Amino acid sequence: MSLGGQRNAVEAQPSVALGSPVSPGKIEVCHVASGDRWAGTEGQLATLLKALARRKDLGVSAIFLNEGRLAEEARQCGIKVCVVPESEHNFFQILSKATRFLDENNVQILHSHRYKESLLSAFLAHRCGVPFHVCGSHGAPEPFTGWRRYKQGLLQALDRLVARYFTDRVVSVSEELRRQLTRYLPASKVITIYSGVDGEKVFSPFSVSEAKQRLGVPARYWVIGTAGRLDPIKRLDIFLGAAQQIAASLPNARFVIAGEGKEESSLRALARRLGVQDRVLFLGHRSDVYDVLRAMDIFVLCSDHEGLPNAVLEALCLGTAVVVRPVGGVAEVIKDGLNGIWVESSEPPALAEACLQLISDGARRNLLTRAGVELVGEKFTVDRTADQVAALYHSLCDEQEST
């Protein structure tokens, strides 16, 4: 295991100051998203929409291309929602219905998420005379092979075209992602606003021992786990390889994987080949994921790349020690040896060693978890995120008024 130092600061970016003066009057903002699944991006967006909806200076609405949990959570926040199911409408029908919705709500800013929604928003902004289009970038594109690689390349090229010529600001969730975006976008157009967690929502009423027992794990056992989509990019093969080595040294260790995805069957098969199938709990989707995170003595992130994963912030918020590969925005949150542990190798033995060292040193583990809780409370709250997003909206409108 290599314990790296903190990464260097990056080049200056356009700033949006917290507490900066804002324009009088309410700004009408409409978010545009797919809403067809529930993963990290959707969870971040739902949390942000809830915080924005509480603000008196904003009127918040949303257009979703699918009915689902995201649309339902938006409605529960009192947000005006228009769902145009993409499976039942062609592009021009979606454009027509969305146009009527925007005209009814006098929208001044469109805030899109992902490439398809950004393309739709570019058309809508032109058609409806919406002054500003903001695009959210939540992570780097995932690598594909074969035909999907060429399709993804075409979509990326189109997304870059929209971002460069038909978007006023691009919001990045990390500085590392911002550096990637400014390779083909003007630096003045891209701003980093970190995602935040809702401390009132990210909560478990159970102690660590109680949370373990709810999973059927004895309170005296060690629990090492992870949470997220079961996709190749998450590299859960590393997690399972490390589980095999940890189990050999620590018979009372159990391993938890919370989440669902296309890799589940292959991961279960790998667990059987490694001989740890009886020690690994595949929990699938959990509505009580915060209780699951509370049950973990160590939360592990093995991904090849990330934007800024919700699960890491939530684990920190809940006082769970974290061991991560310092990829993407993760390295901007987790400072090695201060509030978590870096494992820069993709080899399972390095991850196993890091976890075993942390388990054997309770004092160090406690110091890391306290620092993690403090960090989230200071820098990664959803109210802080909402303040910066609202300040961005106001800065755009102020620019228009001054011209």
Tens of pLDDT along 104-158? Answer: 999 999 999 988 899 999 999 999 999 999 999 887 666 656 666 666 667 778 8
pLDDT at site 149: 67
Residues 6+ apart with CB under 8 A from 149: 143
Count CB-CB contacts under 10 A for residue 214: 15
- The answer as to whether 262 is a domain residue is yes
How many Cβ atoms sit within 10 Å of the Cβ of residue 330? Answer: 23
pLDDT at res. 11: 36
C-alpha dihedral (79, 84, 86, 87), degrees to nearest 10? 120
Do 34 and 83 share a domain, yes or no?
Answer: yes
Tell me how far apart the alpha carbons of residues 309 and 101 are, in angstroms, rounded to a whole number.
Answer: 32
With tokens 């997304």, the residue in question is 159
Pairing of strands 280-284, 253-258: parallel
Q: 50 with 177, same domain?
A: yes
End-to-end CA distance of the chain: 55
pLDDT band at 18 (very low <50, low <70, confident <90, very high): very low
The DSSP line for 140-167 is PPPP--THHHHHHHHHHHHHHHHHHHS-
Amino acid type, 8: N
User: Who's near 355: CB < 8 A, 6+ residues apart?
Assistant: 224, 242, 246, 298, 300, 323
pLDDT, mean over the chain: 90
State how many domains the chain has: 2
Categorize the per-residue pLDDT at 15 as very low, low, confident or very high, splitting at 50, 70 and 90. Answer: very low
Lowest model confidence (mean pLDDT) among 4-13, 276-285, 349-358, 388-397:
4-13
In a domain? residue 4: no
Cα–Cα dist 375/233, whole Å: 27
CB 369 within 8 A of CB 299: no
* Strand boundaries in 132-247, DSSP class E: 132-137, 169-172, 190-192, 222-227
Q: Which tokens is 368 given?
A: 């890391």
Residue 24: the pLDDT is 54
Neighbours of 126 (CB within 10 A): 11
CB atoms within 10 A of CB 150: 10
What per-residue confidence (pLDDT) applies to 138? 84
pLDDT exceeds 80 at position 17: no
Residues 181 and 223 in one domain: no
402 occurs within a structural domain: no
- Find the mean pLDDT for residues 157-176: 92
Per the domain annotation, does 8 fall within a domain?
no
- Average pLDDT of 286-315? 95
Query: What pLDDT digit, counting tens, does each position of 58-97 carry?
Result: 999 999 999 999 999 999 999 999 999 999 999 999 999 9
One domain for residues 215 and 364: yes
Give the start-end residues of each E strand in 208-288: 222-227, 253-258, 280-284
Residue 57 structure tokens: 């200076």
Is residue 235 domain-shared with residue 255, that is, in the same domain?
yes
292 & 239 share domain: yes
**Is 1 domain-assigned?**
no
